[in-house]
Structure 1
Amino acid sequence: MNTIVKQIEECLTTEENVIYYFRIQNYHRGLREYQLFSSAFQQLIHLLVNSQQLLDGYDVDFDYVLTMLQGIIQAQESRDYILTADLLELQVKPFLLGIQEWLLGQFNVCPEDEIWEDNLNNLTQKDKTLADQIIKKQLTGMHCEVEPTSSGLFTLKVMDGMGERYMHSNVNPVEEADMFAREYYSTDYSRYIIFGLGLGYHIDALLNLDDGIEIEIIEPDMEIIKTALASRRMNWLMGNMRVRLVYDPDFTKLARSLEEDSRLIIHYPSLLHIQDERMRLALEKYFIRDSGKRNMAIAFENNFRENVINCSNYVDELEPMFKGKNAVIVAAGPSLDKNVRLLKGKPDNTIIVAVGTVFHKLMGLGITPDCVVFLDAQCNMTQQIKGLENELVPIVCASTAYKGIAMNYKGPKYLICQKGYDRAEQYAMEHQVRTYETGGSVSTIALDMCLQLGCREIAYIGLDLAFTGNRTHANDTACVKDAPDEDVLSVESTDGKMVSSSRLFMIYREWIERRVQQVDAEGRVYDATEGGAKKKGLITKSLHELFDKWNNGNVDD
């Protein structure tokens, strides 16, 4: 029975590869995989024909199998690779899964007994220190279970204080791992650090894409390591000196990895299993930032190409407008409604720097900002300038901001290149201009811009970084809506109470808190927001008090 289960596993794996490569028009690789599938499928049919007694109770329709094969062969010989992939997905895959699920329901499938011993012996030859750690470590409680999936492969279920969750697909972990590897692999990197071992499918898949890369796997849970070694043959680990497994129970290695230049990949189910809340939050923040970069990579490139053409000026040219002046950065948080009208009485030595979300609101109140900053790469950004295209207010567009802003706005447009984006850094170096830190938000890049361009003192208003009044933004802004019900955290507010926030807001807040500790910002950044989250390092003062101070030549009372 185990032989049939394993053969079906092989058929399912090679079949998925054929479908994938045919559909991306990599026919050379697809045909190679098709040959592997064809051989594996023929072996399976031979096993089924000779195992009628074992399959008693399950009707294998061999006439249907023959018809199915004839259709696939005809499509393949006609070089109709679209139809070939469709037939494999619509006919062969259900056929294989049907037999596999029946077998798994009839028989108890467990990992082979010798797997643990073989893996441990091989690991001892490769990394005796780790092998000794594994042997000596006594487990205090079992929280891992290996379960067969519908494809016959094993998945891993973990149980902890936050409940139960699976580390891999319950249908086909290899197929899932292939998708994972293709998403994260890049020819730009030769070394990867992967947090989370699971049963190793995702690492095996990454090595299948490029067996020349170096991989360091960080796993803090010894029971997961032991379960993996007892469940799957780890040939990809044992036989490859470029792959190293690190047991890291106190997260020392992981903390260092967050600062390294290698490609750090987070296996998200493993992240959720971390019991150390501080480290889990740190990894979640990294995961959010990394996901954002991957999701927007194509949009960034597209926007960059257009923005360097359509922005005829660079933000450094605005330095005379900023230097020696005080600045109010107007963000779009819910509390903005409480003090935004005070901007009408701003001192003469004060400039207004608005985020794009509040452009309409300010203009509607008769308050003309000195410049407006745009960062977001998504196409709905054009709503922020709709009806204002012919204004003469200078706008500052991040190099990857949505291209439609600079394409449609008729007033003066200034490009700003952000640190951390290779294309922008290259452009800045070639044109001998500054780069600016984004912090991930338009409110954060506005702060770095004000500091680098020489503002004397800077105040935020509308920077709630919280769902004040259960809202996301101020009234009459481009993004106002009710606060979400999920992913909500409680943080300390400016009045000492607690207020709802989010992980994204927390990332922005912590970036600002770090930025204001730098020499060029120390003691010069104020929070005049009427509510929201407390920001360490920012001096809390009302906008009215600040205007009195600035009217008196920046002299404190």
Structure 2
Amino acid sequence: MTFFEENLAFLLSQGFEEQILNQPLENSTVRLFTGKMGYYTAVKQVEDHDILLHSAYDPLNEASRLLAVEDISSYLSIFVFGLGLGYHLLELIEQTSQDCLIFVLESDWDIVRAAMHVIDFREILKTGRVVLAFGTPSDVRVILDGLFVNGEIQLKLHKMGFLYFAPKYRHDITVVQEIRRIIIEVFQYHILAKGNDISWSIKGLTNLSEHIPYLARSPYLRQIADTWHKPVVIVLAGPSLNKNIAVLKEWQDRVTIFCVNTVFNKLLDYGIVPDATFTLDRAPVIAEKHYKRDDHIPESVVLVGNPVIDPRSVNLFKHNMFIFGGGEFYQSELARDMGYGLLPVGLSVTHFAFMFALYIGAPAILLVGQDLAYGSEGRTHSSGSVYDEIKVDLDKENDVVYLEGYYGGEVPSSLSWKLFRDWYEIYLERFPSLLINCTEGGAKIKGTLQLPLKEALEQYVGTDSLKKDSFVDWLYSVKQDIKYEEMLDKIRMSFEKRIEKLQICELVFARASRVYHNIEDPEILLKFKKRYLDQMDKEARNIMSDQWIFSAFKPEYIRVMVEYNGLDTGVYNADVDLETVIISKAKLLQDMFCNIGLLSEKLRKILEDTVSKLNEKIGSSGSGKNSDKKVSR
């Protein structure tokens, strides 16, 4: 097998089959030849002329000179625009630390195929710190989206650098700029959109513990998968909703209607009773402003929520259904321990409703009121919804961005709404689905079909359609086989595992904190202080390798470690005292250990109290098994 064939077989095994085999090598726009010193070089045909990709004399020395103009020593992640024949990549691997992650970005498959004759991709990937992101900008976005969710990668992205292979930059500048924009957007999507409030872990776990009686009666994901083969309309509170609300009322008896919490009361006030309402928020304001009414909520409405939502919302509804997804990783571990399953919920409650509708088998999903843009006079929501009085002065708003509009042109939006739109586009690019945007206003969402609501209903529901089925009846049909006490016991055992993890975490951090006093001691030699700091660093990274621990303490850990890694630049500065840097880094870790230790104690107390209650309930109760009655606390 030739070197090229070995690379070909390897890249095919990595999922690049369609791209690599898309064009025969004989028709390549890249021509290889041997340079004066025996190294391969190449020319790339661009329109009617050839471009030399590497030095025809010494491409290795050329690669070294490319890196010499960049300060690469402080980066934890480097994005390389352009593969060429890989000489600069090999040099970059040699010159960067083992902690540095290298992303190789190349959109030209002719160049990739040429490089397959020169460098060993298998050996490059064996380093464990090179990511190959080959393909169109859209392909690259999908690859990065799958990687940036990782906590350790997120940490490295806070110190990122960009390296441009000159021929790529000069002759493919549009693609380079597009991919760079995508990198920043996907970074924002995964870092900024996930929240930074460490107290959310406490509030979320408190609420989840309150919901255990309901949670133990909620159906597994596998019980609801592909069981509702009817179109679904998802109603949002965007400014454009008003133009379609009359059509929605006319069709409400024939089509399943889901809505988000912000528009729930508006629909009821207009005489539209949704089949289900969705919420993710753990804030008390949701119950008070979004769901509380003078009259009773119709019993035909199902509240579908994440287990961490505020209990006051749950108590307002007769029928509740909890779906694990997103949020802190303890939901993932609990879902696994219960054998329940985890549903991706995206970045917003709208994404949650969409993913739920898709999962239960809706053949067509229609969005109404999903503007993701400001309306007239800077309005953020439709009239009659919770926030209908809010108006934004676009001239004074700092985070206004302009997006492609539903009808073309550009519309004013916000960074948050842009992230929400990007989530749709990334998901639909990876998993094409029939999502119909019937908003008739706001921002365009690529990957959706745009139709007026009435036309979409006539086409996908049908003018002669019968009265829709009861969503409540569906809910009880899919959860008939649930064994309530067995679920309670699984939850108890899962919580006991979390308690043990927190106890270990607290012991580790207490031990690491004691090491800090040795670093502070002026009598301790510098070389020993460095060893003690390495020990503290290792303890922190080891304990954070547990996904649940990392998820629970992520905001504090990333905040500290970004500052901690930033101090490394002082190591290379002759004017900075190394001992000062070591003590400063140790103090950051010490403070983090203390803060996380206090939070750990609070989380453990919640879990221990819940386990105690579950022990009493499981030991004393035989009643309540498979009961369909509303659970009282």
TM-score of the pair, normalised by structure 2:
0.46
Does 1:362 pair with 2:267? yes
For 2:186 and 2:132, the matched residues in 1 are separated by 10
Residue number in structure 1 paired with 2:203: 299
For 2:99 and 2:331, the matched residues in 1 are separated by 35
Residue number in structure 2 paired with 1:394: 302
Equivalent positions of 1:530-541 (< 5 A) are: 530-541=440-451
User: Percent of aligned positions with the same letter in both sequences?
Assistant: 23
Residue number in structure 2 paired with 1:411: 318
Residue number in structure 2 paired with 1:527: 437
Contact 1:439 1:511 in 2 (8 A): yes
For 2:99 and 2:420, the matched residues in 1 are separated by 34
Q: 1:542 aligns with which of 446, 449, 452?
A: 452
Residues 53-84 of structure 1 deviation map (CA, whole Å, 9 limit, x = unaligned) = xxxxxxxxxxxxxxxxxxxxxxxxxxxxxxxx
Other structure's SS at 1:263 match: helix
Question: Which structure is higher in RCO with an 8 Å CA cutoff and minimum separation 6?
Answer: 2
Other structure's SS at 2:441 match: coil
Deviation at 1:258, TM superposition (A): 6.1
Residues 394-429 of structure 1 deviation map (CA, whole Å, 9 limit, x = unaligned) = 1111122233322x3142111111157433233333
Moved more, 527-536 or 298-307: 298-307
Q: 1:497 aligns with which of 401, 404, 409?
A: 409
For 1:269 and 1:430, the matched residues in 2 are separated by 33
For 1:242 and 1:137, the matched residues in 2 are separated by 14
Q: 2:355 aligns with which of 431, 448, 472?
A: 448
Q: 1:395 to 1:246 in 2, by over 3 A?
A: closer
Q: 2:184 aligns with which of 273, 280, 286?
A: 280
Equivalent positions of 1:328-347 (< 5 A) are: 328-346=233-251
For 1:321 and 1:220, the matched residues in 2 are separated by 41
For 1:381 and 1:271, the matched residues in 2 are separated by 38
Give ranges in structure 2 of 5+ residues lacking alignment: 1-59, 81-95, 107-129, 134-142, 164-176, 466-633
Contact 2:292 2:316 in 1 (8 A): no
Residue number in structure 1 paired with 2:231: 326
Q: 1:369 to 1:136 in 2, by over 3 A?
A: closer
RMSD of Structure 2 on Structure 1 (CA): 4.1
Q: 1:473 aligns with which of 381, 399, 407?
A: 381
Residue number in structure 1 paired with 2:153: 264
Tell me which structure has the larger Cα radius of gyration. Answer: 1
Deviation at 1:451, TM superposition (A): 1.3
Contact 1:266 1:287 in 2 (8 A): no
Residue number in structure 2 paired with 1:218: 77
Contact 1:197 1:219 in 2 (8 A): no
For 2:339 and 2:409, the matched residues in 1 are separated by 47
Counterpart of 1:401 in structure 2: which amino acid? Answer: I
Give ranges in structure 1 of 5+ residues lacking alignment: 1-129, 145-195, 201-216, 222-240
Deviation at 1:487, TM superposition (A): 1.4
Moved more, 430-439 or 306-315: 306-315
Deviation at 1:360, TM superposition (A): 1.0
For these two proteins, the number of residue pairs brought into alignment is 336
Deviation at 1:339, TM superposition (A): 0.9
Counterpart of 2:318 in structure 1: which amino acid? Answer: G
Counterpart of 2:293 in structure 1: which amino acid? Answer: G
Deviation at 1:447, TM superposition (A): 0.8
TM-score of the pair, normalised by structure 1:
0.52
For 2:144 and 2:457, the matched residues in 1 are separated by 45
Other structure's SS at 2:195 match: helix
Does 1:482 pair with 2:341? no
Counterpart of 2:77 in structure 1: which amino acid? Answer: I
For 1:553 and 1:431, the matched residues in 2 are separated by 43
Q: 1:327 to 1:254 in 2, by over 3 A?
A: same
Other structure's SS at 2:444 match: coil
Residue number in structure 1 paired with 2:290: 384
